[in-house]
């Protein structure tokens, strides 16, 4: 029974991989056809030209410094946003005053365009810190909204059962509240990671801190090096996908260990 289950899972993974490769091949062909029809590298460079530009960038130290520093800036903003958003959710669900004060502000932040915050923040914040701040600002309302929903949807029957079994506040938090909210929290983190990247890179493009992907994108655009613009864009996409994958894997591993600990 175990062998058949394992075989079925392996087949599903292979099928998903083949489907993904097929979709990627299809869009690469579409890209190549568009490039041939336009016939201007300045507008739409061919995939092989972009790949050559990307391989050239990877060999330089500037590439790794720019990618590394952008990664650190945006991850810092993301992590601070997750902490602040989670804390805000706890406050707004527990205290009416906090809800009355914070909820309108967070909804306002969520509704305001990223570009507006970047332009305003340029006046207040140093260039090097702006991408972190913008990433933080975009992640906070998303995490707050999801975690707040998770807290409000905790099954009351589970809380009543915890009271019946006289679980302490801490055990109720660990074995009831956190597991109930975790799916909402992880969904917010996964979506927030992509949003942090988009907004953080947008901030870098405008404020142009030294050794950043955004600055490199702006330089490539200014020098009409379209293949490099595509190459840096692909770098942003790949880093975002890798981070989201790592986040999902971490969440899955954490969930298994957490449940195992709860079972003990």
Please spell the DSSP secondary structure of 206-225, one letter per residue.
Answer: HH--SS-HHHHHHHHHHTT-
Lowest mean pLDDT among 4-13, 44-53, 117-126: 4-13
Q: Are 132 and 74 in contact (CB under 8 A)?
A: yes
Look over the chain and give the mean of its residue pLDDT values, rounded to a whole number: 85
Q: Which two tokens stand for residue 31?
A: 């890209």
- Percentage of the chain surpassing pLDDT 90? 29
- The pLDDT, as a whole number, for residue 255 is 58
DSSP strands (E only) in the chain: none
Mind listing the pLDDT tens digit for each residue in 202-212?
Answer: 999 888 888 89
- Closest residue by Cα to residue 161 from 170, 172, 169: 172
Cβ density class 209-242: b for 16+ within 10 Å, e for less: bebbbbbbbbebeeeebbbbbbbbbebbeebbee
pLDDT at 263: 44
The model scores a pTM over 0.85: no
Range 66-82 average pLDDT: 93
Q: Which of 53-67, 85-99, 172-186 has the lowest mean pLDDT?
A: 172-186
Looking at residue 264, its pLDDT comes to: 44
Q: Say how far apart CA 83 and CA 188 lie, in whole Å.
A: 12
- Tell me how far apart the terminal alpha carbons of the chain are, to the nearest angstrom: 26
Q: What confidence category does residue 3 fall into, taking pLDDT thresholds of 50, 70 and 90?
A: low
Q: Per-residue pLDDT for 100 more than 70?
A: yes
What CATH class has 67-263? mainly alpha
How many angstroms separate the most distant Cα atoms in the chain?
73
Q: What is the average per-residue pLDDT within 168-180?
A: 83
Spatial separation of the C-alpha atoms in residues 212 and 70, rounded to whole Å: 5
Q: What is the token pair recorded at 236? A: 């942003």
Higher pLDDT, 234 or 4: 234
pLDDT-based confidence at residue 116 (cuts at 50, 70, 90): confident
For 83, 221, 236, the CA distances from 35, given in Å and listed in that order, are: 44, 18, 22
Task: DSSP for 131-149, please give it.
Answer: HHHHHHHHHHHHHHHHHHH
DSSP state of 129: G
- The confidence score (pLDDT) of residue 254 equals 60
Burial of 106: CB neighbours in 10 Å, binned 0-12, 13-18, 19+: buried
């Amino acid at each position: 029974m175990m062998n058949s289950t394992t075989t079925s899972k392996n087949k599903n993974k292979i099928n998903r991989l083949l489907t993904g490769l097929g979709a990627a091949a299809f869009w690469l062909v579409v890209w190549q056809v568009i490039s041939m029809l336009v016939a201007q590298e300045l507008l739409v460079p061919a995939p092989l030209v972009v790949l050559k530009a990307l391989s050239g960038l990877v060999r330089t130290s500037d590439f790794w410094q720019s990618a590394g520093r952008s990664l650190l800036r945006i991850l810092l903003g993301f992590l601070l946003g997750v902490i602040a958003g989670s804390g805000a959710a706890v406050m707004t669900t527990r205290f009416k005053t906090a809800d009355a004060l914070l909820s309108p502000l967070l909804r306002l932040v969520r509704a305001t365009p990223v570009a507006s915050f970047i332009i305003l923040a340029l006046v207040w914040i140093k260039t090097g810190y702006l991408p972190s701040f913008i990433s933080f600002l975009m992640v906070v309302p998303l995490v707050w909204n999801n975690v707040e929903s998770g807290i409000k949807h905790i099954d009351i029957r589970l809380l009543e059962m915890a009271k019946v079994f006289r679980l302490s506040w801490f055990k109720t938090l660990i074995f009831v509240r956190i597991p109930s909210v975790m799916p909402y929290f992880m969904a917010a983190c996964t979506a927030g990671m992509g949003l942090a990247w988009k907004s953080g890179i947008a901030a870098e493009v405008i404020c142009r801190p030294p050794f950043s992907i955004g600055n490199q994108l702006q330089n490539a655009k200014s020098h009409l090096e379209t293949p490099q613009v595509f190459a840096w864009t692909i770098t942003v996409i790949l880093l975002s996908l890798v981070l989201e994958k790592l986040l999902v894997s971490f969440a899955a591993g954490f969930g298994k260990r957490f449940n195992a600990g709860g079972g003990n």
